[in-house]
Amino acid sequence: MKKHKEYFRLTLVVSALPICMLALFACAPVRVKTYPAETSPVKKYPAETRSVKTYDETVSQWKSYEDLVRWMEKHFSFDMERYKKFEGTLPIPRSPEETLQLKSGIYIDAAEFSKKTLNQINPSYKAQIVVIIVRPNVFNHYVCSFKKDGKLFIMDYGTPYREVTGFHGPYNSIEEYKRFYEKYYPEKRHVEGIGYLP
Q: What is the mean pLDDT of each run of 10 residues along the chain (198 residues)?
A: 56 54 48 44 48 89 98 97 90 96 97 98 98 82 96 95 94 95 81 90
Answer yes or no: is 123 within a domain: yes
Answer yes or no: is 117 within a domain: yes
The reported pLDDT for the residue numbered 87 is 85
The reported pLDDT for the residue numbered 41 is 46
The reported pLDDT for the residue numbered 19 is 60
Distance from C-alpha of 3 to C-alpha of 9, rounded to nearest angstrom: 10
Answer yes or no: is 96 within a domain: yes
Answer yes or no: is 72 within a domain: yes
Answer yes or no: is 130 within a domain: yes
How far is it between the farthest Cα atoms of the chain? 113
Answer yes or no: is 18 within a domain: no
Q: What are 167's strand-pairing partners?
A: 155
Q: Residue 31 in 3-state DSSP?
A: coil
Answer yes or no: is 38 within a domain: no
* Distant-in-sequence, close-in-space partners of 90: CB < 8 Å, separation ≥ 6: 108, 140, 142
Sort residue 33 into left (φ over 0), alpha (ψ -120 to 50) or beta.
beta
Q: How does DSSP classify residue 186?
A: S
Q: Total structural domains in the chain?
A: 1
- The parent domain of residue 122 ranges over 55-196
Answer yes or no: is 23 within a domain: no
CB 111 within 8 A of CB 94: no
- Burial group, residue 99, by CB count within 10 angstroms (0-12, 13-18, 19+): buried
